[in-house]
Copies of this chain bind each other. A is one copy, B any other.
Amino acid sequence: MTRVRLGMVGGGQGAFIGAVHRIAARMDGAFDLVAGALSSNPERAAASAAELGIRSYADFADMARAEAARPDGIQAVAIVTPNHMHAEPAIAFLNAGIHVICDKPLAATAEQAARIAAAVRDSRARFFLTHNYSALPMVREARALVAEGAIGDLRLMQVEYLQGWLADAAQGKQAEWRTDPARAGAGALGDIGTHAWQLAAFVTGRVPARISADLSSMVPGRPVDDDARVALRYDGGAKGGLWVSQVAVGQENGVSLRLFGTKGALEWRLQDSERLILTPKDEPARILTRAQDRSGSFRTPPGHPEGYLEGFANLYSDIAAIIRGDDSHAARVPGLADGLSGMAFIAAAQASAARDGAWTEVKS
């Protein structure tokens, strides 16, 4: 089986998420990274590409054009730039017929998101969004259990993503663009709130109809939200809460999801990502592990901890299969719809907060 030829936009020296995408693409041997426009700084772009031994471009538009023209050009591109720099390269590669693997959130603004959506509709290429947490085996198992009725009808949902690394005024490259409204679009809401939103939707199979949001900037002078508490109402009466924070001191990546239904409950925490607690009503809680998982989304027997990078790699493996023509895994790979839903969530949360938490419809 030949490897999928992959390009990358962003992810030059010093970047975080670009390196993660590269590891994920490498892990199962399904991709070859062969080209990149790794930085908007031409020298750093060239140096970074040289380090990786790949073709280097100073400009993503040139890259899209040139790669589309080569017989051995890239088949897919990973876009790992800051949020405001997703739309232009995504559109360029989609227009060139090259599949796009885009980091989340979809974009920094609704206008950018709409243009990406239009390009996806007009392109023969596919669009993927790397909401990696939903690719972890026990999360996929949770989704299967909910779909099978293991917890009955959903009544209560609580999703959290707590970090503490921005508890002080931002320092460093990673912190800087994430707290710049122009580049990030939103703060915690966009960076980790969309992860939480997608995780809950992925597992429950449902999207809240209305939300009430309280956004805070706990660090004086910070121009974006660094803490967001959002109450959620689903059609039919179920309710939920979403809490994300980047000022929760001591929390490293406190992702958790709790569901309570008429017949049972499910609980999952990233810190203990290989275990899923299922509590059927009036029965003891059960600790599910990969011995019970049916998604096949792992590489080693249960008890050998897999984690964040393996989840990311699960997405890449599914994407490779889809690119090779096997669409059977497509339902579990996030894409445009998830991206648009995340943007609708951000917009509704900001609108609700602007009206002091008034219940606001999520238009997706």
Contacts and interface: CB of A to CB of B under 8 A. Distances in A.
Interface stretch (A58-66, A198-206, A240-248): A240-248
A245 B229 contact: no
Interface in A304-326: 304-310
A364 interface: no
Contacts of A194: none
A80 to B, nearest CB: 14
Contacts of A155: 218, 227, 247
A29 interface: yes
Contacts of A128: none
Interface residues of A, number: 84
A277 B287 CA distance: 10
B281 A249 contact: yes
A210 to B, nearest CB: 10
A192 to B, nearest CB: 11
A278 B279 CA distance: 14
A357 interface: yes
A254 to B, nearest CB: 7
A303 B252 CA distance: 5
Contacts of A309: 27, 299-300, 304, 306, 309-310
A16 B285 CA distance: 25
Contact of A253 (B241, B260, B304, B308): B304
A131 to B, nearest CB: 14
A289 B252 contact: yes
A227 B251 CA distance: 27
Nearest to A214: B231
Contacts of A42: none
A295 interface: no
Given A19-B299, A27-B27, A248 B231 contact: no
A300 B357 CA distance: 36
A212 interface: yes
Nearest to A22: B29
A221 interface: no
A357 B292 contact: no
A279 B212 contact: no
B2 A53 contact: yes
Given A216-B239, A287-B284, A23 B28 contact: yes
Contact of A359 (B19, B280, B357): B357
A308 B308 contact: no
Interface stretch (A68-76, A85-93, A268-276, A338-346): A268-276
A83 B241 CA distance: 30
Contacts of A227: 155-156, 239
A241 B242 CA distance: 11
A110 interface: no
Going nearest first, the 4 A-B pairs with the smallest beta carbon separation are A252-B303, A250-B279, A305-B307, A253-B303
Interface of A: 1-3, 16, 19-20, 22-23, 26-29, 51-53, 151, 155-156, 158, 163-165, 167, 212, 214, 216, 218, 227, 229, 231, 233, 237, 239, 241, 243, 245, 247-254, 260-265, 270-274, 277-281, 284-289, 291-292, 299-310, 356-359
9 contacts: A22-B29, A27-B27, A214-B233, A249-B261, A270-B305, A271-B303, A284-B287, A304-B307, A306-B309
